[in-house]
Structure formats: structure tokens, C-alpha cells
Amino acid sequence: NAGVTQTPKFQVLKTGQSMTLQCAQDMNHNSMYWYRQDPGMGLRLIYYSASEGTTDKGEVPNGYNVSRLNKREFSLRLESAAPSQTSVYFCASSRGLAGASSTDTQYFGPGTRLTVL
């Protein structure tokens, strides 16, 4: 039981390049989330998905797109990377449906460390 997995673990991009961060969970969770974490800023929600085929913006969605491919997988795409997107990106999942009353907790993947030059 792997929990939440993310690929790649590390990535260096040049300004303007594109890339997709992959995330998968094997816990049959309904909701999935993408966060970024910058020093002193805490975790900020980029996008989330309550179920397959639905996605919603979080606090800092600009410059990102997401795709909930199926119940297991939720990818984050940077179309034209900028130095301001240098960060650690975490994917997370929870059992409950985003938007529904819940006492559920979240489980995190190991993170992707992205540097944009």
C-alpha cells in the first residue's frame, strides 16, 4: 500500500519550459489536492478535485492547470514555467468529497522540488 506517490522528486526547468507533475493515490479517496510550500508561507492550495472529472481553483491557481484523469490520478501542469514557481509541490488526498461536511484528514505525497531558472 503506497499511499500517495508523486513523480518526479526533483526537477529543474528553464523559464518558459512546460512540465507535468504526476500524483497517484491507492486509498480509493475521493478528493485530491495540489499545494505549494514556500519558506515562511506555509502550504497554499493551488487546485483541488472533489471527484473524477471535477476540479476547482484554490488560493493560488494562476500559472497552473490540473487534470483529474481518474479516481487515482491528479496531475498538475505548468504551461510556461516562471522563477516565481520555484517551490516544493505536494499532492494530497482525503476520503471525503471536497465541499461536503467532513471529519476526514489528508494524506500527503513526498513532494516534488521544482527549481525554475
Partner 1 sequence: RKEVEQDPGPFNVPEGATVAFNCTYSNSASQSFFWYRQDCRKEPKLLMSVYSSGNEDGRFTAQLNRASQYISLLIRDSKLSDSATYLCVVNNFNKFYFGSGTKLNVKP
Under rule CB under 8 A, which residues in 52-91 are in contact with partner 1?
Answer: 58, 88, 90
Q: Which of 46, 111, 114, 116 binds partner 1 (CB under 8 A)?
A: 111
CB of 57 to partner 1, least distance (A): 11
Q: For 84, phi and psi rounded to 5 degrees?
A: -65, -10
Task: Pick between residue 17 and residue 88 the one whose CB is nearest to partner 1.
Answer: 88
63 within 8 A of 77, measured Cβ to Cβ? no
Q: Give just the sign of the alpha carbon dihedral 12, 32, 62, 80.
A: positive
* Region from 13-21, 63-71, 73-81, 94-102 binding partner 1, contact rule CB under 8 A: 94-102
- Tell me how far apart the terminal alpha carbons of the chain are, to the nearest angstrom: 36
Task: Pick between residue 36 and residue 81 the one whose CB is nearest to partner 1.
Answer: 36
